[in-house]
Amino acid sequence: MTGRAAYWAEEAASLTAPWGGINMAWAAVDRHVAAGQGERVALRWIGRDGAVRAMTYAELADASGRFAAVLRGMGVQPREVVATLLPRLPALYVAALGAVKAGCVYAPLFAAFGPEPVRLRLSLAKARLVVTTAALWARKGTAEVPALMVDEGWGERLAAVEPLPCARTTADDPALLHFTSGTTGAPKGALHGHGAIVAQHATARTALGLRAGDVYWCTADPGWVTGTVYGIFAPLAAGATLVADEGDFDPARWYALMERERVVVWYTTPTAIRLLMRSGTELARRYDLSSLRHLASVGEPLNAEAVTWGREAFGHPFHDTWWQTETGAIMLATPPGEPVIPGTLGFTVPGIEADVWGEPGGVRELVLRLPWPSLFQGYLNDAERTRACFADGWYRSGDLATRDPDGRFRFVGRVDDIIKTSGHLVGPFEVESVLLEHPAVAEAGVIGKPDVVAGELVKAFIALKPGFAPSEDLTRDLIAHARRRLGPALAPREVAFADALPHTRSGKILRRLLKARELGLPEGDLSTLESGGR
């Protein structure tokens, strides 16, 4: 056995359930109860209005078991998809854990998605059930999927059943389904098995430095992969106490929360850090944040100023971490205790081997050596796009990177046209498709335009149909149309009109050229501009 295989085998052994298999909910919650840690607080939920609700590991084990029984009572079978469309409520944690406990596949949806992305993902997933609120479903529920409302008789429903024990799953049984975006075509549903928890648990400790009993706060929205993996499963598996805030972003609220809850490990995004920077160092210093031990960032390039500002405001730099939906867990990180070098991601985490492929000085792609426990099992119903991610025993990330002589990796960019706005992936195709529904639109090309806070913002270039002329009213109408259909998470913030959009020879819109023009960059050799199409 190689060193890596031995490492993962040992990590898997520590999470193996009494029946010899692995279940994510058992590893995250029930295991701690079995080990006599049931009285430890698993979740401290802070409501919008400041109300606090604590749940111990024993209570979370019980409630998730009850939700698993509710699913069974509704006839929901193992391997069927249970989705959530929820704000950050205690029921979200219960539903996520309960679904995997029942052996179902858990699929989180972002509450800020509009009706179209919700419908599309639920139908691609063939979801058996969506757990949501009456208000969210009234606005977004166009899909013909049975919906269970957490604000209508939820407590009674859970009280009326006996908790179900964990389904006796194996590491390879599917557990999580996360939608991610491609350059072309529909969103891709990346499937992960229960065994992913092995790498998620390991990296919570090695990359984030999380220890049992630590108070931990992940600010990522639970509708995205970071919010599910490092907002629920990984830190619970590590025995942490999660802080979950229902409220919206607000610097003073965030600092007060960290002071009051004595947060020890804080995992956030560059966009949030840049927003905090705008409110000044003074504000941060007004709070007693001496409980903080480790600050980490993910999802988009972490600029040097943000790293340094962490030091000024909190006495600790932000440590970068890199991973993707497909990798299922952190792959690269500057771990606790390792000096932070701004502009670098850091090193491979234990159990992972990475490389960069391509000509020195040319375009070089970050690749990861197969296998590892949290690698995705494939895109749902898309063997072709799955196959395109692999070559010669390696996973191809689609990210461009370099490696320093000391082994630190640096992020350079992406090989494709995918947009990262506020740390969220946006597929240009999904946005373009909705813009094309508008009666005035002949063609649409969508790019990420650099933005000092959000990293990138979604910008649409539109060629109008004959008989329509650019105007401010039309701009407003297009943005309103997109927001109605796509929701604020995906809708363009800016619209520009063009007489015609540039195309590749095969007829695809040349988003890279739109981007080069937007940035005032040389347009370069057009023959190389055609995108990879992943």
Least separation in angstroms between residue 377's CB and ligand 6R9 is 15
DSSP state of 27: I
Q: Of residues 133, 169, 219, 325, which one binds ligand 6R9 by CB under 6 A?
A: 325
Q: Is 324 in the site for ligand 6R9 (CB under 6 A)?
A: yes
Q: Is 433 in the site for ligand 6R9 (CB under 6 A)?
A: no
Sequential DSSP letters for 476-505: HHHHHHHHHHH-TTTS-SEEEE-SS--B-T
Least separation in angstroms between residue 111's CB and ligand 6R9 is 16
Q: Is 425 in the site for ligand 6R9 (CB under 6 A)?
A: yes
Q: Is 409 in the site for ligand 6R9 (CB under 6 A)?
A: no
Q: Is 322 in the site for ligand 6R9 (CB under 6 A)?
A: yes
Closer residue to ligand 6R9, CB minimum distance, 32 or 205: 205
d(CA 255, CA 219): 12
Closer residue to ligand 6R9, CB minimum distance, 26 or 411: 411
Q: Is 375 in the site for ligand 6R9 (CB under 6 A)?
A: no
Q: Of residues 119, 205, 274, 414, which one binds ligand 6R9 by CB under 6 A?
A: 414
DSSP state of 187: -
Least separation in angstroms between residue 72's CB and ligand 6R9 is 32
Q: Is 430 in the site for ligand 6R9 (CB under 6 A)?
A: no
Are residues 367 and 375 in contact, defined by beta-carbon separation less than 8 angstroms?
Answer: no
Are residues 222 and 268 in contact, defined by beta-carbon separation less than 8 angstroms?
Answer: no
Q: How many CB atoms lie within 10 A of CB 449?
A: 21
Least separation in angstroms between residue 70's CB and ligand 6R9 is 30
Give the orientation angle of helix 115-125 with respect to helix 472-486, to 10 degrees: 30
Residue 472 DSSP SS3: helix
Strand order in the sheet with 441-451: 441-451, 455-464, 494-497
Q: Is 226 in the site for ligand 6R9 (CB under 6 A)?
A: yes
Q: Is 351 in the site for ligand 6R9 (CB under 6 A)?
A: no
Closer residue to ligand 6R9, CB minimum distance, 86 or 426: 426
Least separation in angstroms between residue 178's CB and ligand 6R9 is 8
H/E run at residue 265: strand 265-268
d(CA 38, CA 31): 9
Least separation in angstroms between residue 414's CB and ligand 6R9 is 5
Q: Is 411 in the site for ligand 6R9 (CB under 6 A)?
A: yes
Sequential DSSP letters for 345-368: -BEEPTT--EEEES-TTS--EEEE
Q: Of residues 85, 130, 191, 225, which one binds ligand 6R9 by CB under 6 A?
A: 225
d(CA 206, CA 200): 10
d(CA 114, CA 300): 23
Q: Is 422 in the site for ligand 6R9 (CB under 6 A)?
A: no
Binding mask 109-148 for ligand 6R9 (x = CB under 6 A): ----------------------------------------
Q: Of residues 32, 420, 512, 534, which one binds ligand 6R9 by CB under 6 A?
A: 420
Q: Which of residues 302-321 bind ligand 6R9 (CB under 6 A)?
A: 302, 320-321
Residue 506 amino acid letter: S
Q: Is 400 in the site for ligand 6R9 (CB under 6 A)?
A: no
Least separation in angstroms between residue 302's CB and ligand 6R9 is 6
Q: Of residues 106, 254, 323, 372, which one binds ligand 6R9 by CB under 6 A?
A: 323
Residue nearest to ligand 6R9 (CB): 325
Q: Report how far apart, in Å, the C-alpha atoms of 204 and of each of 150, 281, 294, 344, 459 are.
A: 29, 28, 12, 20, 35
Least separation in angstroms between residue 455's CB and ligand 6R9 is 9
Q: Is 300 in the site for ligand 6R9 (CB under 6 A)?
A: yes
Q: Of residues 23, 180, 206, 386, which one binds ligand 6R9 by CB under 6 A?
A: 180
Are residues 256 and 247 in contact, defined by beta-carbon separation less than 8 angstroms?
Answer: no
Binding mask 453-482 for ligand 6R9 (x = CB under 6 A): ------------------------------
Convert 263-283 to b/e letters by CB count within 10 Å (16 or more is b): bbbbbbbbbbbbbbbeeeeee
H/E run at residue 178: strand 174-180
What phi and psi, each to the nearest 5 degrees, are found at residue 321?
Answer: -135, 145
Q: Report how far apart, in Å, the C-alpha atoms of 71 and of each of 75, 110, 129, 423, 475 are.
A: 6, 22, 9, 33, 45
Encoded tokens for 54: 């604590």
The HSE-up count of residue 509 (CA atoms within 13 Å, CB side) is 23
Closer residue to ligand 6R9, CB minimum distance, 23 or 269: 269
Question: Which parts of this chain interact with ligand 6R9 (CB under 6 A)?
Answer: 180, 225-226, 298-302, 320-325, 345, 397, 399, 411, 414, 420, 425
